[in-house]
Structures are given as structure tokens and as C-alpha cells.
């Protein structure tokens, strides 16, 4: 029977994985978790991305502390991306995502305010930088600790399922020679921001800066996304409207498949549980 490793995305300071397992119908003895969000538990106490928020509205976002500080270079890179996406406009035309995020179709923020989405994107990418640069938070070197969590979680032949920033962690760990991490049977990434150019220099890549097929994945890598997903949309801002990872990858030996037609109706079209519900048939092995 297949065993899984779950790696969550941003905003999951409380353990989200019981919901993941229930959604997929995976019993408790068939999965382990990389619950890295607790390392940032003082920053965003609640995030709609940990919930399956409905399209009829979204709960208010509350922030109880200032964003994680970055160095000047990273602050400039983050500000440039937010500006390109229209997030740094002082007076947006409406409390919606600006038209620059829309490409061929208007972006539907599902009732969430422009401010809430911008804040989530800002806070989320700061956590990504802390991982990629191994910065300390609360006396802990973030990347070192998360890699230890991954090594503790994975067993030989596991299927790794990762959402949002979790896909960055999974890709990084499965592309490194971590001494205690065996090879995975397969990798599934959902709503992944791996295509973001501003992250590329700190991730495993080929000489032309393309992503690579993680050498510690023995089988298939499946990447699934909704084209309206807020983090996938940010990739399009950088790449002139191109979405997904297929064009970013070096040779995969036919082991990479992409599914870019999902319809996720939760907050920011990025809700983890809805991704699991709608892509579960591809994640689970045939009965």
C-alpha cells in the first residue's frame, strides 16, 4: 500500500494534515508530515490558504506582527515582483486584483480584498526567502531545520505530495544529497510557485537556470494548478503570461506531467484541500 509524505504551504501554523489525509482517504499509518509552518508561528496567526474557503466570501485576515525582515537585495526583488503584479499601486481601481494579473481573462479574487491577497503574497514569499537563504528565526536556521524534518518524515518509496511553498521544499530536498533521505517513488506538486524567476538562483538548476528533474524521484513528477491561482499568476507576470513549469524544465525523460486545467474556487484559487479533492484521483494509486 502506498505511503505518503505531506508538505504543506504557507499559513499552516496549526497542523493541517488530518484534513489532507481525510480528503484523500489515507489512514494515519500510511503518511508522515513535514509541518514546517510552526517555525513561523508568531507571524500570521491565520491564513485562508489552510482552509477550503468558498467562493461566496472569505474571512478577514488578521496580522499580529510585522513582516519577516529581509536584506536589501531580497526586499528589492520582492518589491519589484509585487510592483509588476500591480500590488504596489497606492490606489487600486477597486479592492480587487489589478488587471495586470489578468492576462486573457479577468482575475476573480472571490470577494477577498486586494489588501488581503497582497499581504498573503508578501508574507508567503518572505518565508520562502528564509528557507532558501537558511536565515534564522526564533534561534533556528530555517532551511537546516526543515531539511531535518523532511529526512525524518520520508521512507523509501514514499509519494511526496506538496502544496504551495511545500513544493519548493520538496523539490529542494529531493534534488539534494541529503544523507538521511531515501528516494521517493513519485512527486506531486499543487499550486506551485517553483516557476518564479526570483527564486531560481537558490534552487537546484542546470547551467541555463532551468529546473531539473529531482534525482531522488524514481518515478513521475506531476504538477497541477489552476491558471487563476494567485502564485501561478505571479509566475506569468515574470514570464510574459506563460504559466506552469513544463517550459522551465530541462530534460525529464518523459517523467514529468502537467495538469493546468484545475478549477479551484477557494481563496486566491489556491486552497490546499480543494486541490487535494480535485486531483486526488491522480495522487492515489488505482484501487
Residue 244 in contact with residue 258, Cβ under 8 Å?
yes
pLDDT at position 286: 59
DSSP code at position 254: T
Q: How far apart are CA 267 and CA 9, in angstroms?
A: 14
User: 244, 119, 251: which is closest to 193 by C-alpha?
Assistant: 244
pLDDT at position 11: 72
Q: Which residues contact 21 (CB under 8 A, 6 or more apart)?
A: 6, 27, 28, 31
Total number of residues shown for the chain? 287
CA atoms within 13 A on the CB side of 58: 29
pLDDT at position 113: 53
- Report the greatest alpha carbon distance in the chain: 54
What phi and psi values does residue 205 have, to the nearest 5 degrees?
-155, 170
How do beta strands 221-224 and 140-141 pair? unpaired
Grid cell locating 32: 508522515
Q: How far apart are CA 203 and CA 225, in angstroms?
A: 20
Q: How far apart are CA 242 and CA 15, in angstroms?
A: 33
Q: Could you identify the residue written with the cell 528564509?
A: 130
Q: Is 191 exposed, middle or buried (0-12, 13-18, 19+ CB in 10 A)?
A: buried
The 3-state DSSP class for residue 154 equals coil
pLDDT at position 116: 66
Per-residue pLDDT of the chain (287 residues; tens, 9 = 90+): 899 999 999 877 778 899 999 999 999 999 999 999 889 865 444 444 444 333 333 344 444 456 788 889 888 888 887 777 766 654 444 334 444 443 333 444 443 455 667 777 888 888 899 999 999 998 999 999 999 999 999 999 999 999 999 999 999 999 999 999 999 999 999 999 998 888 888 899 888 888 999 999 999 999 999 988 888 888 766 666 678 887 778 777 789 999 999 999 877 788 899 999 999 988 886 54
pLDDT at position 83: 78
pLDDT at position 89: 57
Q: How far apart are CA 272 and CA 276, in angstroms?
A: 6
Grid cell locating 96: 480587487
Q: How far apart are CA 122 and CA 30, in angstroms?
A: 34
Q: Give pTM, 2 decimals.
A: 0.84
Grid cell locating 94: 477597486
pLDDT at position 121: 81
CB count within 10 Å of CB 105 equals: 8
Residue 24 in contact with residue 277, Cβ under 8 Å?
no
pLDDT at position 7: 97
Amino acid at each position: 500500500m502506498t505511503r505518503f509524505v505531506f508538505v504543506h504551504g504557507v499559513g499552516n501554523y496549526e497542523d493541517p494534515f488530518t484534513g489532507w489525509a481525510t480528503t484523500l482517504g489515507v489512514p494515519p499509518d500510511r503518511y508522515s508530515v513535514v509541518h514546517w509552518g510552526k517555525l513561523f508561528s508568531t507571524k500570521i496567526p491565520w491564513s485562508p490558504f489552510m482552509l477550503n474557503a468558498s467562493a461566496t466570501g472569505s474571512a478577514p485576515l488578521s496580522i499580529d506582527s510585522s513582516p519577516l525582515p529581509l536584506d536589501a537585495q531580497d526586499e528589492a526583488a520582492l518589491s519589484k515582483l509585487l510592483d509588476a503584479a500591480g500590488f504596489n499601486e497606492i490606489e487600486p481601481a477597486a479592492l480587487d486584483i489589478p488587471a495586470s494579473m489578468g492576462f486573457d481573462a479577468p482575475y476573480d479574487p472571490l470577494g477577498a480584498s486586494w489588501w488581503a491577497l497582497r499581504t498573503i503574497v508578501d508574507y508567503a514569499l518572505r518565508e520562502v526567502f528564509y528557507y532558501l537563504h537558511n536565515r534564522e528565526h526564533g534561534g533556528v536556521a530555517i532551511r537546516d531545520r526543515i531539511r531535518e524534518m523532511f529526512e525524518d518524515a520520508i521512507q523509501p518509496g514514499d509519494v511526496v505530495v506538496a502544496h504551495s511553498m511545500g513544493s519548493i521544499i520538496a523539490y529542494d530536498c529531493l534534488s539534494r544529497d541529503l544523507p538521511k533521505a531515501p528516494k521517493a517513488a513519485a512527486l506531486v506538486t499543487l499550486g506551485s510557485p517553483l516557476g518564479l524567476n526570483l527564486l531560481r538562483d537558490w534552487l537546484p538548476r542546470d547551467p541555463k537556470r532551468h529546473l531539473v528533474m529531482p534525482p531522488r524521484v524514481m518515478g513521475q513528477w506531476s504538477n497541477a494548478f489552476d491558471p487563476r491561482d494567485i502564485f501561478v499568476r505571479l509566475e506569468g507576470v515574470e514570464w510574459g503570461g506563460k504559466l506552469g513549469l513544463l517550459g522551465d524544465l530541462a530534460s525529464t525523460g518523459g517523467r514529468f506531467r502537467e495538469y493546468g486545467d484545475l478549477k479551484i474556487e477557494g481563496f486566491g484559487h489556491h486552497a490546499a484541500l480543494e486541490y487535494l479533492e480535485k486531483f486526488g484521483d491522480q495522487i492515489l494509486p488505482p484501487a
